[in-house]
Amino acid sequence: MTQIRTKIKGLGFFVPKNIVTNDDLSKVMDTNDEWIRARTGIEERRYITRFEDTPATMGAEAARIAMDRAGVKPEDIDFVVFATLSPDYYFPGGGVLVQRELGLGHCGCLDVRNQCSGFLYGLSVADQYIRTGTYKNILLIGSEVHSAGIDFSTRGRDVTVIFGDGAGAAILQPTTEEGKGVLTTHLHADGRYAEKLAFKNPGSHSGVFTGDKEVFPTVEESPYASLMITPKMVEEGDHYPNMDGQFVFKHAVRRFPEVIGEALEATGLAVSDIDLLVPHQANLRIAQFVQKTLQLPDEKVYNNIQKYGNTTAASIPIALCEAWEKGLVKDGDLICLAAFGSGFTWASALIRW
């Protein structure tokens, strides 16, 4: 029986036109270019044009490029998987907004909320649909707008300097070509550390997990007051993302090699078989640590965080697409994708191009 696998037929990415350098950020917070580069490797990032760009519109722009390269029309798309942590609306999800932007008819749309691992979780889900014959043209998107919801003050600099905006997209199709396509995907999570990297408010947790119930009104004060967002949260800056950077780093540099090794073991391959590793662009220091652990040469690891910052769910498709455009992804190459992020979640995929 012929085995069906998933191939990436087309790639595209879109980043906003606004380049924000480290020096630009030093004008609004106590930081500098040397401090940011030393800790993250980031030199600049892209921010949206406000009132024009959104996660859905950027995702649609990336999708148009991927669709054109794949030679598919809007009516050919039969499913959409949209990964983001920064949706246009709390609900509905961004998938239906992209569907509307692109005129995709009534195809199904699925939103994935797995932050930095979102694109790989989406790839794994889409891979199952392709392998089972359920769908034949899946549009997979990772798109993020961070600049609209981060703290541009010294208080928030540890988080703010890291993130950028952008979107990447892939068209996934079935292939029966021997040994080609997505060979394996691996997904993991550890919810014990959910609050170590989180955007907690607005939310519906009312302090149950965080222990900070003092920022919420008591039932006696107002039995029906909003618990999603309160004046005290805004006053204390508790409505911005928070991160325990050192804690995240320690877990990331362990989980990346583990999940890459798991994928290699599942396919009977070795690190030396990898032609290109495209890691989630979390922090250049993390990527360099993983590269050293795996003993991969520079030409086998692709990083572009220096230009775009951390675009969470969009970082892998942006980097993969850019690498492909540069001719670094060739027919027959073994491509390894890996991610770690909020949740904690982590994932890997091996693709024979």
Q: Is 303 a catalytic residue?
A: no
Neighbours of 61 (CB within 10 A): 21
**59, 68 Cβ separation under 8 angstroms:** no
Locate 299 and state its tokens.
């030409």
C-alpha span between 313 and 216 (Å, rounded): 31
Q: How far is CA 224 from the centre of its chain?
A: 36
Q: How many CA atoms lie within 13 A of 246 on its CB side?
A: 0
Q: Which H or E run includes 198? A: strand 197-198
Residue found by looking up tokens 């967002």 in the block: 229
Sorted by sequence, the CB contacts under 8 Å of residue 224 that are 6+ apart come out as none
Q: Is 310 a catalytic residue?
A: yes
Q: Is 116 a catalytic residue?
A: yes
C-alpha span between 349 and 126 (Å, rounded): 12
C-alpha span between 15 and 281 (Å, rounded): 15
Pick the catalytic residue from 116, 146, 283, 321: 116
**Total residue count of the chain as it appears in this document:** 353
Pick the catalytic residue from 146, 186, 239, 280: 280
Residue closest to 194 by CA, chosen among 155, 144, 162, 242: 242
Neighbours of 211 (CB within 10 A): 8
**22, 44 Cβ separation under 8 angstroms:** yes
Pick the catalytic residue from 186, 242, 310, 321: 310
Locate 169 and state its tokens.
């997209």
Q: What angle do CA 124, 142, 76 make, to 5 degrees?
A: 75
Give 301's DSSP letter: B
Q: How far is CA 343 from the centre of its chain?
A: 13
Mind telling me the catalytic residues?
Answer: 116, 280, 310
